[in-house]
Chain A
Amino acid sequence: MNSPVLDRLIRWFHQLGSPPTFDRFAARWAPWAYVLGLLTMAVGLYGALFQVPADYQQGDSFRILYIHVPSAWMSMAIFALMAFYAAIGLVWRIKLCEILAMSCAPIGAAFTLITLATGSIWGKPMWGTWWEWDPRLTTELILLFLYLGVMGLYAAIDDRRNAARAAGFLAIVGVALLPVIRWSVVWWNSLHQGQTIRMFGESSMDASMLAPLAWMVVGTHLWFVGSLLTRARADNLVRESGKDWVARLVEARR
């Protein structure tokens, strides 16, 4: 027998699948996620730029790591989440999951772009080149193309539900790339350095340098929540534009 709290939680979860309920939820919580994300990232950036000592070999260029690494983690985590939502959307035909999956794509593409650009900017003084067809860099570039493919496929088909299913399928297939990116530095001879920061076990990075990275990781996740809710809200409004609840919503805003 379920407890009343669990019953309410399950009911709330089911109600969230309703477009008007989701719209209210997203409109209410997205600004909070953005603000919390900004504040958390501000703390992280202050630490990264002004508190942490310069690296003994890389000098201050290592400070790029504080935006490069969280963005790289986000680029892969968002793809996994996109595929997860897409799988739920394909199996159970839940419209909101299709919307959430497709809303993940531009945010993931943005973080992948940041990863590639900041890595390239760091690579110029450290490796002496802007770009190298290294396994890690190349697989990350393929990830960006996959994101663009998902976005392009979703935009190319007129019927929103068919478009989401086709693009969602590409997202699910693309998950195979994630372990390749993750272990590319182990499987192949890579110019890119190996794993420096470990969730479990000792990191190769000095402990005094880790705190801003933790702030940035949390901050980028919170930012992602804000962006995901806002993008999903926009798609939800477009799909539901002819419905009564949208008419009532715009009437109430007048």
Chain B
Amino acid sequence: MSYREYVIAAYAVFVVVLLWDFAAPRLQVRAALRAARLRVSRIATREPPAELRR
């Protein structure tokens, strides 16, 4: 194959950028769900106000 290095470099750029495009939003979704889960568990473990405990 002629110009092999150039062809490989171009296709490598394509693959790397698409891999980033695949991974980045999945990490964002995971982080958003984790934050929501932590918020839910914080609310669940929060002690009720003193007047409600009496």
Contacts and interface: CB of A to CB of B under 8 A. Distances in A.
Interface of B: 1-4, 6-7, 9-11, 13-14, 17-18, 20-22, 24-26, 28-29, 32-33, 35-37, 39-40
Contacts, number: 97
B40 A247 contact: yes
Interface residues of A, number: 41
A118 interface: yes
Interface string A239-251: 0011000110111
Interface stretch (A55-63, A92-100, A156-164): A55-63
Contact of B10 (A122, A227, A234): A122
B18 A223 contact: yes
Given A60-B7, A63-B7, A246-B36, A106 B14 contact: no
A197 interface: no
Given A223-B18, A247-B40, A230 B4 contact: no
B28 to A, nearest CB: 4
Given A106-B24, A230-B25, A237-B32, A121 B10 contact: yes
Interface in A176-207: none
Contacts of A241: 32, 35-36, 39
Among A54, A71, A114, A242, the most chain B Cβ lie within 10 Å of the Cβ of A114
Contacts of B35: 241
Given A59-B2, A234-B32, A227 B25 contact: yes
A17 interface: no
A231 B24 CA distance: 8
A67 B28 CA distance: 27
B17 A113 contact: yes
A9 interface: no
Contacts of B21: 106-107, 110, 223, 227
Interface string A19-60: 000000000000000100000000001000100001000011
Given A238-B32, A247-B40, 17 more contacts: A59-B3, A61-B3, A61-B6, A67-B11, A68-B10, A106-B21, A107-B21, A110-B20, A110-B21, A114-B17, A118-B14, A121-B9, A122-B6, A125-B3, A230-B29, A235-B28, A251-B40
A250 B35 CA distance: 10
A67 B29 contact: no
A238 B36 CA distance: 9
A31 to B, nearest CB: 10
A227 B29 CA distance: 12
A121 B4 CA distance: 11
A250 B25 contact: no
A225 to B, nearest CB: 12
A59 B2 CA distance: 6
A98 to B, nearest CB: 17
